[in-house]
Amino acid sequence: MDMPRFWGGGLAMRSGRRVLDSDAHQMEPQSMWETYIDPRFRSEAPRLRDVGPHRTMTVEGEPLTAQYGKYPFASAEFLAALARGMQRFKKARLAGFDAESRLRDMDEVGVDVQILHPTVGAQLLGREFKNPELLAACCRAYNDWSAEYCGAAPQRLRWAAMLPFQNIDLAIEEAHRSAEAGAVAFYLRPNPIEGRNLYYKDHLRLWAEIETLAKPICIHDSGSPRLPSFGDRLDTHTTGHIVAHPFEAMVAMMSLIWYGVLERFPKLRVVHVEADAGWLPYWLQRMEQHWDFSGNAEHPDLTMRPTEYFKRNFFVGCRGDETTLRSVVELTGDENILFNTDYPHSDGTCRGECAAWRVRPFRTRASGRSSGTTPRGSSVWRSEVLVTPTPLVAE
């Protein structure tokens, strides 16, 4: 059983299986940005400042997130819940979430490999920069630090690079540079930026370059952005967050299919993480209904049914505690379903969910076997997490 080139390979099996968490997070030290950024931009690097009653990360003179108004981040009740959730990771927090503490937690819960996405960096990409060169410098700083961080255990810690998507020329340059430095994927937000959706023609050059690099794009929303968000219709962080993550993922998937991006770039792989998977059967059904009604009307680039593009190009991360997971697997199969925990974010499911993997057996359509009877050596997610993500763990 070899891990495909999609994420890199070379990891030995543990207990006859591998577990790969497709969405874990870096917890960037506050000083990292000033330390790793190009010296030309050091005075402009992201840093903590007092904004009203809160101390928060800022850049270009404003907070990274939308603090007040619609879908606000600076909600006292939300921040208190966030702090309570982080108590689960006390040892790692006291260690500054360094690589050693992360590896200890991975060993404790039985995760072999994590794909690391940014935390502060994700918020940073949720706004339009006045100076795109500063944005690119921030991306380089994060990517250089992540390469160094993951060097502590390169077979187990793998990272998705930040790209300065606001400027496509700079994004292409950083995609090549970070790939050479060891990035296994590229982190992108689903939100429009400068009025451009993911499918806009301005981005075709970037998709072409990423396709040649043979690395996936990981589409991952982050709370309370300053970019347009489905959460903007709502007045609390909680309700905005409920809506934004899955809705942004759904629209990103639909638009990349219907506007012909994946017809032009058939080898481009798209991974949706931290949006759950329960919406997937409905969304495929919805797209198929429109295909049956009008085919490729208004969208002449489409040559296949929407579900065919999904099967060829997309992977969707699920949580281990999703009660809808049975229906997802029964209705869509398990070949395009991945596993993610959101470690170590407070609303993630890393602690406690691993035990649940072993007490929720059911028969998958793809394997025809129950999770409780899968032979040793089959893919870990068929036997423990109930689904088989072939791009991550292959027999």
What integer best gives the mean pLDDT of the chain? Answer: 88
Q: Edge-to-edge strand order for the sheet containing 270-272?
A: 20-25, 113-117, 157-162, 185-188, 217-219, 270-272, 314-318, 337-339
Q: What is the reported pLDDT for 53? A: 87
- 52 pLDDT tier (thresholds 50, 70, 90): confident
What the chain holds in terms of domains, given with CATH numbers, is 20-383 (3.20.20.140)
Tokens of 205: 């050059």
Question: What pTM, to 2 d.p., does this model score?
Answer: 0.89
Q: Is the peptide bond preceding residue 29 cis, with omega within 30 degrees of 0? A: no
**393 pLDDT band (50/70/90 cuts)?**
very low
Task: Decide: 343 and 358 in contact? Cβ < 8 Å.
Answer: no
Lowest average pLDDT, out of 63-77, 337-351, 380-394, goes to 380-394
Q: 133: which residues sit within 8 A by CB, 6+ positions away?
A: 41, 170
Specify which residues 247 forms β-bridges with.
Answer: none
pLDDT tens profile 186-237: 999 999 999 999 999 999 999 999 999 999 999 999 999 999 999 999 999 9
- As a whole number of angstroms, the distance between CA 252 and CA 197 comes to 9
Q: Let me know: does 371 contact 54? Beta carbons within 8 Å.
A: no
The span from the CA of 327 to the CA of 116, in Å, is 28
Q: Which residue has the tokens 């794909």?
A: 115
pLDDT in tens, 271-305: 999 999 999 999 999 999 999 999 999 999 999 99
Q: What is the pLDDT of residue 384?
A: 33
Question: Where does residue 142 fall: left (phi above 0), alpha (psi -120 to 50 degrees), or beta otherwise?
Answer: alpha
Tell me: pLDDT of 366 over 60.
no
Residue 10 has pLDDT above 80, yes or no: no
Q: What is the pLDDT of residue 349?
A: 84
| Tally of CB atoms within 10 A around 90 | 9
